[in-house]
Structure 1
Amino acid sequence: AFIALPIMVILYASKIEKRSLRSVGLSKGNVMSSILKGFCIGFLLILSILILNVLSGQIRYQGIDFSTFIYLPLFLIGYAIQSFGEEIICRGWALTYLAKRHGILLAIIISNIIFVFPHMGIGGFDILTAVNIFLIGTLFAIIFLKYDNVWICGAVHATWNFLLGPVFGLDVSGISTISLFNVSKIGPNILNGGSYGPESSLIVTIVVIIAIIIVTYCFKK
């Protein structure tokens, strides 16, 4: 689905809507530099979340499991396919399609609602989770509009999932995986997100709101 749906969306946009690949964020220029920027943004976001969790006593790291290292490239590829697929659908196509017809603000709201839906129905999902994923979608949308491509927001998205789960050992949207670092939570609560993971926590709310402000007012193309 993460491969087929984005391809179908791209074909629909190009063949039915007669749009260029660039119009859905698939620009040919500066692909690697955009991906690198996205990785850096994603890394800083996850680092901020981890530092706040550790300083507030929500999580403790208990060593490294080097036996999982061999699986990290597979996780990276998997999360990259998933993340870029979601960004092509939600930002590359839905956001741009809606923006032309209803304006940027409504386009961001509707495309974010589309983005929230796949994250529902998983144990631990609640109102705060929905708010946080909506905010994360807003951040990705602003990054997309700022740089006019899905490469950078796709890289932020993939880096977020990859570092949060397989590297640092926290749940990603309610899904746990083997990880490089062994981590223990100090009980499920509103600060660490409980069984859903940090995406259901107040710490992520704070970090993402600050990131939205910084990207909106400080970042330049």
Structure 2
Amino acid sequence: MRLVWQLLAVAAVGIIGSQVAMAFEGNAWATLVVGLLASALTLLAYWWVVRLTERRTVTEVVGKGSVRGLLIGTVAGFALFAMVIVNIFFLGHYQVNGLGTVLGAIGLFGFMAAAAVTEEVLFRGVLFRIMEGWWGTWIALVVPSLLFALAHVPNPGATVVGIGAVFIAGTMFSAAYAATRSLWLPIGLHFGWNYAASAVFSTEVSGAGTPTGLLDTTITGPAMLTGGSFGPEASPYSIAFCLLTTLVFLWLAHRRGRLVPLRKDAKRVESGSTLPQ
């Protein structure tokens, strides 16, 4: 039952936050404030419901190194997407036409923060963490990532390759959680990637369509290289970089003794209290 209560609590806050943010669409400063507030309330709701249903210290959101994990994740996510754009640029398919809008980047900061926090808390904090306790790390890498990918199917520009790319990104975020036992690194990765894509390089994000960011840009060329209507996330460069990063995180999780076999140590993983930090 704790899975149900945790999903309901986090989803309720996330949905309300997204609806309020959409009501302020076009007002960059209001979107920034609402997005950051929604992020904080989502984390608070998660902390409260886990404390209530599991009666433990919620170390994955209040543990040591939270700020460090968030910063490292944000820089890494930004760098990963920048490398994707660099490859597309050198193929001649990405053009910078000039400057975009600073206000657009400001509003997107709040919007993308709320999206990253809500999705990571739901898919990694609740689904991956609890399913890992039931089935072990390897199965838990697949199921929440599949649900994460399916959640993007309704996006207007969704493609089969794009949904597959989201699945791989989901495994990367889950592996980041497994390696650190903290939500801050995957939140940072998710935010850094999305913010770079939307607010800086002004590209499509998961086929959902985003306003112009700091740069006014154009992407042309075959969808198999650029990602097409889904955005550069569906490019082979994105898929390759995310796969490599996933392997690095899994290697770190293995080195730190944090990969969980089927059912073994399930209780310890859910509490997070006896895993190496």
TM-score > 0.5 by shorter chain: yes
Return closer, same or farther for 1:20/1:89 CA change in 2, 3 Å cut-off.
farther
The 2-side partners of 1:133 and 1:60 are apart by 25
Higher relative contact order (CA 8 A, sep 6+): 1
Matched, 1:95 2:128: yes
Q: 2:219 aligns with which of 179, 182, 185?
A: 185
Kindly state the Cα deviation for residue 19 of structure 1 after the two structures are TM-superposed. 4.2
Aligned-pair Cα RMSD in Å: 2.2
Return closer, same or farther for 1:50/1:189 CA change in 2, 3 Å cut-off.
same
Name the counterpart of 2:151: 118
The 2-side partners of 1:62 and 1:218 are apart by 41
Structure 2 gaps of 5+ residues are: 1-14, 18-37, 256-276
Q: 1:207 aligns with which of 238, 241, 253?
A: 241
Please state whether the residue corresponding to 2:98 is helix, strand or coil.
strand
Kindly state the Cα deviation for residue 6 of structure 1 after the two structures are TM-superposed. 6.1
Q: TM-score under structure 1 normalisation? A: 0.88
Matched, 1:166 2:199: yes
Please say if residues 13 and 93 of structure 1, whose CA atoms lie closer than 8 Å, have aligned partners that are also in contact: no
Name the counterpart of 1:54: 89
Return closer, same or farther for 1:196/1:205 CA change in 2, 3 Å cut-off.
same
Please say if residues 179 and 252 of structure 2, whose CA atoms lie closer than 8 Å, have aligned partners that are also in contact: no
Return closer, same or farther for 1:91/1:29 CA change in 2, 3 Å cut-off.
same
- Determine what percentage of the aligned residue pairs are the same residue: 20
Name the counterpart of 1:82: 115
Please say if residues 222 and 228 of structure 2, whose CA atoms lie closer than 8 Å, have aligned partners that are also in contact: yes
Kindly state the Cα deviation for residue 56 of structure 1 after the two structures are TM-superposed. 1.7
Name the counterpart of 1:216: 250
Q: TM-score under structure 2 normalisation? A: 0.72
The 2-side partners of 1:8 and 1:218 are apart by 30
Please say if residues 6 and 89 of structure 1, whose CA atoms lie closer than 8 Å, have aligned partners that are also in contact: no
Return closer, same or farther for 1:80/1:108 CA change in 2, 3 Å cut-off.
same
Name the counterpart of 2:23: none
Structure 1 gaps of 5+ residues are: none
Please say if residues 43 and 61 of structure 2, whose CA atoms lie closer than 8 Å, have aligned partners that are also in contact: no
Instruction: Name which one, 1 or 2, has greater alpha-carbon Rg.
Output: 2
Please say if residues 91 and 150 of structure 1, whose CA atoms lie closer than 8 Å, have aligned partners that are also in contact: yes
Please say if residues 226 and 235 of structure 2, whose CA atoms lie closer than 8 Å, have aligned partners that are also in contact: yes
Please state whether the residue corresponding to 1:191 is helix, strand or coil.
helix
Name the counterpart of 1:43: 78
Kindly state the Cα deviation for residue 9 of structure 1 after the two structures are TM-superposed. 4.8
The 1-side partners of 2:126 and 2:236 are apart by 30
Please state whether the residue corresponding to 1:62 is helix, strand or coil.
strand
The 2-side partners of 1:27 and 1:111 are apart by 23
Matched, 1:157 2:194: no
Matched, 1:13 2:47: no
Return closer, same or farther for 1:211/1:193 CA change in 2, 3 Å cut-off.
same
